[in-house]
Amino acid sequence: MAKLKVLIVDDSAVVRKIFTEVISRQPDLEVVGTAPDPYVARDKIVQTRPDVITLDLEMPRMDGLTFLKKIMHYHPLPVIIVSSLTQRGSKMALEALESGAVEVLAKPDGACSVGELGAQLVDKIRASAHVRFTPKKNSEPPSPATKLAPLTQTTDKIIAIGASTGGTEAIKEVLLRLPSNAPGVVIVQHMPPKFTTAFAERLNQQCAMEVKEAQDGDSVTTGRALLAPGNFHMLLKRSGARYHVQVKNGPPVHHQCPSVDVLFNSAALSGGGNVIGVILTGMGADGAEGMVAMQNRGAYTIAQDENSCVVFGMPKEAIRRGGVNKVLPLSRIPDEIRRVLSASPS
């Protein structure tokens, strides 16, 4: 099997050296070049025809975001963003994901070494080999303006969503089409800390629902969506008639923190048949076990289909294990959620 060819674009010579060493040790990966800025990278793309690019955002002569947009316009291919954990870096990383980047990784700020980051990068590069690029359609205006009625049918419901690679755009598409009086939503998106903060803020500006990064003890209520913070697991809990979240430290599950399985398994225990579970695009198997658990407790479960996924990993595994009631393209998932809510007994 041919090796995956990787081009590393970063203004730090140390990062380029360490990434090259880590990636080159993998028998299925090959570093075909490195570049300190987008101008050098442009020439090397033509010369080496890489399968995957790693791209820093803050670089001299041309920033990575501008360069990414040029790549996606002229020569679309998988790009993994490696960005600093700053407010500016986080916002740029989100814009990069919206512009076509497939993943975002955080440059170390003392929490982990560049070498450990390189090990994470290896997994992301392999996953990128399965990324599918589809032409972007002109986005249609979201249509959630009509409120769910009667609301009494849905106040006890919880919508639990899990996603990874490609998930930021998929989650946005679902939330944009949910009304302001939709049941409480709990979300895990595999993403580093600070990026989850920026992602929640961006969604809150765009959606009819309130969207916030979850804090321990936050209530899950009508019209609110809670996003698990990076590096923390989030669990759904119930106390009497009140749903709330527990945000806690813990070891990674499926190499992830936050983990979709941690959320989904807690939703199965605390919400049972009141839960609508949704698993979206992403690599790996995180969430598959939790989908089975939710379904076994009476939840209605939905998986994104292969054609609309950026990476058909997590939904595929949930389907394989028999934990999915309905498989749908992303564009039809919000309507299916609304249909299930409308059909729920009061």
Residues 6+ apart with CB under 8 A from 307: 329
Nearest Cα to Cα of residue 116 among 92, 65, 82 = 82
Q: Are 125 and 103 in contact (CB under 8 A)?
A: no
Nearest Cα to Cα of residue 144 among 199, 185, 188, 94 = 185
Among 190, 233, 244, 254, the active-site one is 190
Residues 6+ apart with CB under 8 A from 82: 10, 15, 54, 55, 56, 57, 104, 105, 106, 107, 117, 121
Q: What is the DSSP string of 177-245?
A: TS-TTPPEEEEEE---TTHHHHHHHHHHHHSSSEEEE--TT-B--TTEEEEPPTTSEEEEEEETTEEEE
Nearest Cα to Cα of residue 96 among 121, 114, 71, 125 = 71
Instruction: Judge whether 286 counts as a catalytic residue.
Output: yes
Nearest Cα to Cα of residue 260 among 167, 125, 155, 154 = 167
Distances (CA, A) of 204 to 96, 145, 176, 342: 18, 16, 10, 25
Instruction: Judge whether 164 counts as a catalytic residue.
Output: yes
CA dist 41 and 9 (Å) reads: 7
Among 128, 164, 266, 308, the active-site one is 164
Among 10, 56, 218, 286, the active-site one is 286
Give the dihedral of Cα atoms 121, 125, 127, 132; nearest 10 deg: 140
Instruction: Judge whether 219 counts as a catalytic residue.
Output: no
Active site residues: 164, 190, 286
